[in-house]
Amino acid sequence: MATDAQRSGTGPSGTDARTGIPSGHGDASDLVRARDALLDPPPGARRLGPGALREAFVELHDFWLSSRAATVGVGEGSALVAVGALGRRELAPHSDLDLVLVHDGRGRRGDKERISRVADALWYPLWDAGIGLDHSVRTVGEAIEVATTDLRVALGLLEVRHLAGDPDLAERLAATARQAWRAGIRNRFDDLLATTATRWERSGEVAHRIEPDLKNGHGGLRDIQLLDALSAAQLVDRPTVDVQDARRLMLDLRVELHRRAGRARDVMQAEDAHEVVAAAAADLGVTDRFDLARALSGAARTVVFATDTALRSARSALPRRGLAALRRPPARRPLDDGVVEHAGEVVLARDAQVSRDPALVLRLAATAARTQLPIAAGTLHRLADAAPELREPWPRAALSELLALLGAGAGTVDVIEALDRTGLWGRLFPEWGAVRDLPPRDRSHVWTVDRHLVEVTRRAAELTTQVSRPDLLLLGALVHDIGKGRDEDHSEVGERLARHIGRRLGLWPADVETLAAMVRHHLLLPHTASRRDPEDPATVERVVETLGTDPVLLELLHALAEADSLGTGPGVWTSWRATLMGDLVRRCRVVMSGGPVPGPSPLSDEAIALAHAVSESGRPEVSIAGEGDLTTITMTVAAPDRPGLLSRAAGVLALHSLQVHTADLGEHDGVAVDAFTVSPRFGRLPEASLLREDLVRVLRGSLDLPARLEAKERDYDRPGPAPAPSRVVWFDDEATGAVVLELRTSDRIGLLHRVAAALEEQELDVRWARVSTLGSSVLDAFCLETAEHSGLDPARRRAVEEVVLAAAATGPSTPAPSAG
């Protein structure tokens, strides 16, 4: 509310002889002690669950405030009312108190002074006790007048709850505020929408943020309060049971956040989930942090759907006045068989045969996606109640409409979300239940698994002109991760489910097998391109052996890999990743068409010339290709071959704010020729001469690289989400005896330098390195060889793993000693 109460001084302790009001500030220490006892019960006392604690806090503050109000003289002609969290009975442990002292405004000047002193006697004890307070002193007329210009005050007055004093006065304030809200909603609706949109943009989606804002985010508690306000304006019905369940979960989580932090907290940080689950798993009905994330996502998406639907319905229900009341209602425009547009929404035609038209649901959905118009809520509920089940196999018309929906692009996302929230999508795809609201297991994914599938399908629709079977690309995108949420390998489970789905949809047997193969092998190309050497003939042979000689499947997997990366999150699909995968696919196509297995690409003439220059001068050389392209730059470093060159070169690149994506290590006549694919983290490319000079200084030992990197990391790294635990995974390369070490960790400046130095200290040669940056995480792969060209036994692997994880967890390390 507002803060216009006067903080007038009070006299000495005791009672004002003229007014009978306690003139001292009073004492709220008993309130504070009671609050502390609820939050931290004595040994042997039961810890209250979040719902019970919230209710206890409301009752405690109600009792203290009503008792204090009676003591200081709140009575006939005045009333103390609560708004905000206390007014809604949703008080969290460290929520502010929102209070209004309302009075009738009658009487002489002395009565006004008395109200001011009553207010001081109410507010000061709370201020002195350090309790957050938002307060005002107003007549009913003054409160309504302020509400006409302050949207926050208007919304707050819809939550008025009587605490003490004259109940008729409190009721008159509440009734007048609601009447004014209903009467003025038409003129305030656009401001309400604009305020809401600004809040959503600032706070993001509760369902899909790693650290969601439970109060202000899209799908959070303020959206539920918005639904209450629209209901109070008699524009929409009261929130449904599902929305009330979502409200309860988010309120419980907010209570636990306040209890854990010891202060007001609305954003649930990554590290909070473990603590919250450990403290209140049974009360929240969850088993672990992933279960909690899934429950919260489902609740938030329920609120989002309800809010979006309510805002559209409210706009249509706004009272029309003046000339607008004389206009004819909008006409129904035909869109497809049984589908029309009415008032900006897709609805059923009056003659639609819902119970006799099995393809109607999908036809309406495809039309909505194509036109990017929302489906009316009443239409969705009618279809949910009356639409028939599709028989197996589906009619060809139903499959055609499904493909039209999936290929509609951006409009597909909201339509499938609407179908899912009303139970229609799960009826079409029963397998969807296992991935609905399922949280991702790694930070590169910004969506829940089900939303990821829809986002990938949207991206695949942009690639349909690049493949010969766009229908299978769209279906493969929709179900490629359908096996997640189960205990087995999701690709293997997904393969079996894809066969069932393909048969149910009525695909030809050969197409069913292609769809199943797409799901089974959807990770083959991206994993091979990042974990294997595409120039190694054994790599290509392994891919072709896995897929057979079907170029259509290879083409579909290539497009699916791109769509999958684009639908995962920002920065996952990059030009260097596209180049790696494109090179692998090109080599596989040659073999599938009967050609010879392509061998390694020879060193370029420029690289050989660079090696010759190093042989003659004995000094390192650096060249840069593509200086005008700030997306991907190839930087070649040539220097006399010696241990520690990779880590030193990587450190110099990090020192100049260059992010390494790939490192291909070669040799020519005793000269190491290392090619790095890099891009600037920020700013412009450095001069090649500066890189060369710093590399020479590092090799000579005159530049303290670890100290410089440590300073740079301290200056430029910014705190972010709590890092996920680092992990090392091993892969064996049967053809060469080499092994691939894959490091999954959080991104940091100089990471490649530190890890390469750790590998060099273990006397391991790095044949090539692939660096995948996925948001705040990285996936670095190193192809390793020992001096004996033999694999690593388990004990050696454990030792290597320990030093690599230590390098990933610490600051810049000292490079290996120079060998000459």
Residue 601 has pLDDT above 80, yes or no: no
Query: Is residue 680 within 8 Å of 659, Cβ to Cβ?
Result: yes
- Residues 6 or more apart whose Cβ sits within 8 Å of residue 278: none
Instruction: Answer yes or no: is 432 within a domain.
Output: no
Q: Which residues contact 815 (CB under 8 A, 6 or more apart)?
A: 644, 647, 648, 651, 698, 705, 706, 753, 757, 760
Q: Please state, as a whole number, how many other Cβ atoms lie within 10 Å of the Cβ of residue 602.
A: 10
Closest CA relative to residue 298, chosen from 450, 442, 424, 481: 450
Do 374 and 274 fall into the same domain? no
Is residue 270 one of the residues assigned to a domain? yes
Residues 587, 700 within the same domain = no
Most confident listed range (14-23, 278-287, 540-549)? 540-549
Q: 594, 622, 650 — which closes off a domain? A: 594
pLDDT tier for residue 712 given thresholds of 50, 70 and 90: confident
Average pLDDT over residues 710-730: 71
pLDDT for 16: 46
The strands making up 97-103's β-sheet, listed across from edge to edge, are: 133-139, 97-103, 78-83, 161-165
Separation between Cα atoms, residue 306 and residue 476, nearest integer Å = 30
How many CA atoms lie less than 13 Å away from 122 in the CB half-sphere? 36
> Is 189 a member of any domain?
no
Which CATH number belongs to the domain containing residue 143 in this structure?
3.30.460.10
Residue 421 and residue 452 in one domain: no
- Count CA atoms within 13 Å of residue 707 on its CB side: 5
CA distance 530 to 772: 8
- As a whole number of angstroms, the distance between CA 520 and CA 523 comes to 8
Q: Which of 533, 526, 531, 674 is nearest to 599 (CA)?
A: 533
φ/ψ of residue 511, rounded to 5: -70, -35
Q: Give yes or no for residue 614 having a pLDDT over 80.
A: yes
CB atoms within 10 A of CB 503: 15
Confidence of residue 380 (pLDDT cuts 50, 70, 90): very high
| 583 within a domain of the structure (yes/no) | yes
Furthest-apart CA atoms within the chain: distance in Å: 107
Same domain, 338 and 466: no
User: How many structural domains comprise the chain?
Assistant: 5
Res 262 pLDDT > 70: yes
Answer whether residue 7 is part of any domain.
no
pLDDT score of 602: 77
Q: Is the pLDDT of residue 168 over 90?
A: yes
| Residue-level pLDDT at 209 | 83
Instruction: Give the residue, 700 or 188, on which the prediction is more confident.
Output: 188
Q: What is the pLDDT of residue 25?
A: 45
Establish if 326 belongs to a structural domain: no
C-alpha to C-alpha distance for 411 and 432, rounded to whole angstroms: 20
The residue whose two tokens read 């493909």 is 403
In-domain check, residue 490: yes
Between residues 312 and 530, the one the model is more confident about: 312
Report the pLDDT averaged over residues 415-423: 95
Cα gap 393→406, rounded to integer Å? 19
Please say if the pLDDT value at position 234 is more than 90.
yes
SS (H, E, C) 62-90: HHHHHHHHHHHCCCCCEEEEEEHHHHCCC
**pLDDT more than 70, % of the chain:** 89
Give the mean pLDDT of the chain: 86
467 shares its domain with 546: yes
Provide the b/e sequence for 9-48 (b: ≥16 CB within 10 Å).
Answer: ebeeeeeeeebebbbebbebeebbebbeebbeeeeeeeeb
Q: Assess whether 445 and 589 both reside in one domain.
A: yes
Q: Which residues contact 122 (CB under 8 A, 6 or more apart)?
A: 65, 68, 69, 72, 74, 80, 99, 101, 135
Q: Is the pLDDT of residue 21 over 50?
A: no
**pLDDT tens readout for residues 741-794:** 889 888 777 888 889 999 988 888 887 777 776 656 777 888 887 655 556 888
Domain boundary among 553, 570, 594: 594
Two structure tokens written together for 156: 């707050």
What are the C-alpha distances in Å from 452 to residues 47, 440, 563?
Answer: 39, 9, 10
Distances from the Cα of 442 to the Cα of 109, 272, 492, 571, 633, angstroms = 67, 17, 20, 15, 28
What range does the domain containing 460 cover? 441-594
What is the spatial distance between Cα 250 and Cα 212, in angstroms, rounded to a whole number?
11
The closest of 715, 761, 741, 723 to 801, measured between CA atoms, is: 741
Query: pLDDT higher for 787 or 534?
Result: 534
Q: What is the pLDDT of residue 482?
A: 97
CA distances from 45 to 41, 50, 56, 331, 693 (A): 6, 16, 15, 66, 69
Query: So what's the pLDDT on residue 780?
Result: 83
Mean pLDDT of 562-591: 88
Residue 768, φ and ψ in degrees, nearest 5: -160, 165
pLDDT (0 to 100) of residue 443: 66
**Identity of the amino acid at 128:** D
pLDDT on residue 789: 52
pLDDT at 325: 52
Judged against a pLDDT cut of 80, whether residue 599 lies above it is answered with no
For residue 429, which phi and psi values (nearest 5 degrees)? -130, 85
* pLDDT over 70 (residue 108): no
Residue type, position 796, single letter: R
CA distances from 277 to 212, 261, 271, 351, 642 (A): 16, 15, 11, 52, 52
Query: Do 643 and 759 lie in a common domain?
Result: yes
Provide the residue type at 683 as one letter: G
> Higher model confidence: residue 537 or residue 382?
382
With bands split at pLDDT 50, 70 and 90, how would you rate the model's confidence at 426?
Answer: very high
Query: For residue 19, what pLDDT is reported?
Result: 39
Per-residue model confidence as pLDDT tens digits over 624-666: 876 544 566 788 888 887 778 888 888 998 888 888 877 778 8
Per-residue pLDDT tens digits for 145-154: 999 999 999 9
**pTM reported for the whole predicted model:** 0.79
- What is the spatial distance between Cα 813 and Cα 700, in angstroms, rounded to a whole number? 17
435 occurs within a structural domain: no
3-state secondary structure of 658: strand
Indicate the pLDDT class of residue 321, thresholds 50, 70 and 90.
Answer: low
Same domain, residue pair 240 and 310: yes
99's torsion region: left (phi>0), alpha (psi -120 to 50) or beta? beta
Q: What is the pLDDT of residue 747?
A: 77
Q: Select from 486, 483, 488, 487 the least CA-distant residue to 516.
A: 483
Same domain, 637 and 539: no
pLDDT (tens digit per residue) in 75-96: 888 999 999 999 999 999 999 9
Q: Answer yes or no: do 368 and 279 share one domain.
A: no
Structure tokens at 144: 């309504």
Does 588 lie in the same domain as 537? yes
**Mean pLDDT over residues 524-535, rounded?**
84
Q: Return the structure tokens found at 62.
A: 């109600």
Domain stops at, among 594, 623, 639: 594
Q: Is the pLDDT of residue 374 over 90?
A: yes
Same domain, 343 and 298: no
Cα(296)–Cα(119) distance, rounded to whole angstroms? 41
CA 752 to chain centre: 27
Bridge partner list, 132: none
Half-sphere exposure of 584 (CA within 13 A, CB side): 30
